[in-house]
Amino acid sequence: MEFAGKVALVTGAGSGIGKATAVRLGAGGASVVVISRTMDEIEETRDEIIKAGGKAIAIDADIADEAEMTRVIDATIKQFKRLDIVVANAGINGMWAPIDDLTPDEWDQTMTVNLRGTYMTLHLAVPHLKERGGSVIIVSSINGNRTFTSAGATAYAATKAAQVAMAQQLALELGKHGIRVNAVCPGAIDTEIDDNTDKRNTQLAEIPVEWPEGDIPITGGEPGESRDVADVIAFLASDAARHVTGVPVYVDGGQSLLR
């Protein structure tokens, strides 16, 4: 119960990495606030945590909307009186297309969700973390940091690189308040995000290559599981990582070392 007495907020907690993380933190004793735009999904996450003996509330909100995220933070403090852990996980792949095909609206949508959403989450949560210190984990990606092989993913890669920069900048800015800020950079994970990726004419931006057999060395080419990332996030959120801040942790089974 390494998180007993602590309160965690997890965005994008309705499925995949966000859900696995919320469940993992709840199992560790944290009271968990699960956030998503899809209420039925986060209700399932909440119920799973409670069924296992934990505490959780579910709040539907658009992470890029200031009024909605203000409502989330206010509800968190009203319910649990504190905030210790923030996992900024919510994000989209958005449209993948050649840069001269990608429209301004498509670019803006990816920036809004991935960057404004991360900013808004931290902008509103940090004042409460400053009260007693805490941990922030931003879910980035190997894309835009170690790999650049997803054809047409310029907007997505840019946001993921920026999230790592945010983590490193904020690690310095917030360290004096006892707040640690780290990023996790997953590779291929068994989430549904690929099903929600829009692609258009990506073949025009591709460079033909043949990857070494196996692709993901540690699993023989199979994607990792959401819990693989959740366990790393739990470590970074815990006191075991008390001297770790400003670090991007790659959770990809060695995938990015091949690319």
183 has which bridge partners? 138, 248
Q: Is the dihedral of CA 227, 6, 91, 160 positive or negative?
A: negative
Query: Which residues have CB under 8 Å from 35's CB, separation 6+?
Result: 9, 10, 11, 12, 13, 42, 58, 59, 60, 61, 63, 72, 90
Start-end of H helices in the chain: 16-27, 39-51, 66-80, 104-111, 117-129, 154-175, 226-237, 255-258
**Residues carrying an active site annotation:** 156
**Distance between first and last Cα of the chain:** 38
d(CA 81, CA 76): 7
Task: Determine how many CB atoms are found less than 10 A away from the CB of residue 188.
Answer: 17
Query: Which residues have CB under 8 Å from 239's CB, separation 6+?
Result: 2
Give, in order, the Cα–Cα distances in Å from 113 to each of 11, 159, 160, 166, 226. Answer: 12, 9, 12, 15, 21
Q: Cβ(91)–Cβ(156) under 8 Å?
A: no
Q: Cβ(192)–Cβ(138) under 8 Å?
A: no
